[in-house]
Amino acid sequence: MIRQSCARTEPAYALGTTMNHRPSHVSLPTFTPTKERPLGVLFVCLGNICRSPLARNIFEHSARTRGVLELLRVDSCGTGGWHIGDPADPRAEAVARRRGLPFRHVARQVRVPEDFREFDLIVGMDHSNVQTLRRLGAPEDRLRLMRWFSEPDRAPTPEVPDPYTGDDRDFDHVYDLLDRACAGMLDALNLRSESASGSERHA
């Protein structure tokens, strides 16, 4: 079982909203992404060495498999700056290898306000991440919790737990949660590759 405590924790902020905030009113981007104007997706966790790097690499791999990666600009970051420039946690890299996932990562901290202008979807792993992003000025209509995409009918939306203080089984569990959520996100976005669209027009 994953232990929820972590070596670093988000500070608490009194924002007038609860940690169980479920952004059910948030709309997905309505424009049609292209190679020239890709859809920006930013995955966010606390330190950017466990959950959000896995989410980014799983999402990119799934999008590549579906033939729509060219329509996306994907990145990850942390709300904290403790690991800037570091590689991912070795256990995150290990679970990626076990699953055959191509994996690359250098940790960074969220850039304010640049990331809030440049990314169309800003996806936090847990309620605390979303609270911090909101405090930093992230647009409300761009914020999502990761597992909303796999379990949209659950209220409050469940979190992707931090495996930092756990073991390999915890990282495997997190990988499975992220894999399902990434598939749900791609289904929700319903992207069509430009090459496929062009083929249909000329059929």
Q: What domains are defined for the chain?
A: 39-194 (3.40.50.2300)
pLDDT at 195: 65
Q: Which member of 89, 115, 126, 162 is catalytic?
A: 162
Q: From the candidates 45, 50, 77, 182, which is the catalytic residue? A: 45
Q: Is 176 a catalytic residue?
A: no
Q: What is the pTM of this model?
A: 0.85
- pLDDT value at residue 16: 27
Q: What is the mean pLDDT of each run of 10 residues along the chain (203 residues)?
A: 40 30 55 94 98 98 97 98 98 98 97 97 98 97 96 92 97 98 95 66 50
φ, ψ for residue 68 (rounded to 5)?
-120, 10
List the structure tokens of 38. Answer: 């890709």
Burial pattern 27-40, b for ≥16 Cβ within 10 A else e, equals: eeeeeebeeeebbb
Q: What pLDDT score does 196 carry?
A: 57
Q: What is the pLDDT of residue 197?
A: 54
Residues paired with 41 in a beta bridge: 74, 121
162 is catalytic: yes
User: In 3D, which of 91, 114, 111, 115 has the Cα closest to residue 103?
Assistant: 91
The pLDDT value recorded for residue 36 is 95
- Catalytic residue, from 50, 51, 115, 134: name it: 51
Active site residue 77: no
Integer angstrom CA distances of residue 32 from 67, 76, 156, 174, 177: 16, 22, 30, 31, 28
